[in-house]
Structure formats: structure tokens, C-alpha cells
Amino acid sequence: MASLPSGNSVLLVFSMVISSLRLTYAGNFNQDFQITWGDGRAKILNNGELLTLSLNKASGSGFQSKNEYLFGQIDMQLKLVAGNSAGTVTAYYLSSKGATWDEIDFEFLGNLSGSPYTLHTNVFSQGKGNREQQFHLWFDPTANFHTYSILWNPKNIIFSVDGTPIRKFKNLESAGVPFPKNQAMRIYSSLWNADDWATRGGSVKTNWSLAPFTASYTNFKANACVWTAGKSSCASNSNSSTSNSWLSQELDLAGERKLRWAQKNYMIYNYCTDAKRFAQGFPPECKMT
């Protein structure tokens, strides 16, 4: 009969299990992503804990996830281009492929020194977007890393910044509004020049004497359903009732209050209030939310 393990042995095994659980949640850029373009301007550093994108006059750079996901809770910490970032765009988004693609966007539009970034959000379903909401932030996004999150489940899409929800897009398929739910998506990010539109409608151009421009990424986390060969990893998860609770998550009352605070104080554009743009009538989701 085997002897019972000592207290130290039990603690060691427990510690190893906890560490393993952490590793499956916290990503490593070497393991989870691949650099897709930029000719050396994108770099994975610090044993996979840090990724940087850079932009100069010749080219920007970008990367994508190795996995595809069909629903997930995705967190990424970013530190944006500092100083005069006018003309630059740092994009961080989920997207499928094809003519009727789905997409969930964060885009950070640069600005002159001392002027705030514009955080641009959009949701595409079946190739149709035009659902822009834009925000200023309540902090300097270039001074430190901040967490930008997308919760995507069959009920809704929630955009959050440092845990504060800023936007909610509900599944209103019952009212004829397409919702991204059938196409697996990869995570993409890029840093590129868009000075024909990004800053003040294109009136402010990129100052190339300040190049290279650099954005940094760390602490990627994905609690998500990995899509492989037409199957979801969540379908076979025996602990789905606990580990995948995010699959049915919606904002609670505290979350709704935070959402209203962010939108009241920091939203600068909402397609649902742009009467000039939608002179023939607002999209149906605008009337329902």
C-alpha cells in the first residue's frame, strides 16, 4: 500500500496545477501569433511576452493569431504610439475572411501631440459594417499599457477598456439585424499609415521625420472557443458550465452603469444619432437600443 504524500508534496503538485492553468489562459506571442508583414518591423521580444509593431515611410507591420475562434473573451494590453502620432492607425480586431466576412474592430486613430487619440469601434456582420462608435479615453494611452477587451458570445459583443464597458452590440437577429455567430475569426493587429483620413479627416499628415512609430503589446489572454477542422473546443469541454460562463455573459447593473458613464462622458460619435447620414431612417438596432 502506497504511503500518503507529504504536505510539501501536495503543495508542490497543487502549485504545478495552478501554474498550468495560468499558462493555458495567459498567452505567449511566440506560441499564439505569427508576424504576417512588415519586413522586420514587427518583433517578438522577452521570450514571447512582448510584441512591438513599427511604422516608417516604407511600410507598417502586422501580426495575426495562429488560432481561429468562434466566440471568446479576448484581452490584450497595448501601449500606443507616443508623441505626434497624427496619420497613424493602430488596428486590433477579430475578423473572418471572404466577401461576407464578420469583424469586430478596435482602431486607434493618432493625433497631434497634446490632442487625444480617437478610439474607433465597429461591428461587421455578413460583410456589412457602418456601425461606428468613437470615443476619447480618460487616460493617456501612450504612457502605460492598458487592457482592451472584446467579449463575443451568442448574446452580445461588449467592448471594454481596463474593465470598463464602452460599447454593447446585442444579438437582435429576431428583429432582422445580422449578428456575427457563424464564422470563426482570427485576431489581427497592424500599425499603418492612413493620413488620407485618420486625423481630422486627412487634413493632418504623418510627420515622417518622427519615424519609426512604435506600438507595443503584452499580456494577451484568450478564454475562447478555438475552431479547428469545423469543430469548437468548447463543445467537448466537460467543465463548460464553469470555465465557459462567459458564453452567456451579459452586463449586470453595475456594468450597465459603467457603460452609461463611458458613453455619456467619452463618446464623440455614434452612428445611431447621425441623422444626416441616415436621412432615410436609422438602422433597426438603433431604434431598439
Residues 129, 289: Cα–Cα separation, whole Å: 17
The two counts, helices (H) then strands (E), for the chain are 5, 16
Give the angle subtended at the CA of 226 by the CAs of 225 and 228, to the nearest 5°: 135
- 173 part of the active site: no
Residue 80 phi, psi dihedral angles, 5° rounding? -85, 170
Question: Pick the catalytic residue: 49, 68, 103, 173?
Answer: 103
Grid cell listed for 229: 477542422
Strands (E), the chain: 33-37, 43-45, 50-55, 61-65, 68-79, 88-95, 103-109, 118-124, 133-135, 146-152, 156-161, 164-170, 186-193, 213-228, 231-232, 267-270
Residues 228, 265: Cα–Cα separation, whole Å: 41
Question: Pick the catalytic residue: 107, 173, 250, 285?
Answer: 107
Q: Do 116 and 135 touch, CB atoms closer than 8 A? A: no
- 107 part of the active site: yes
Question: What residues act catalytically?
Answer: 103, 107
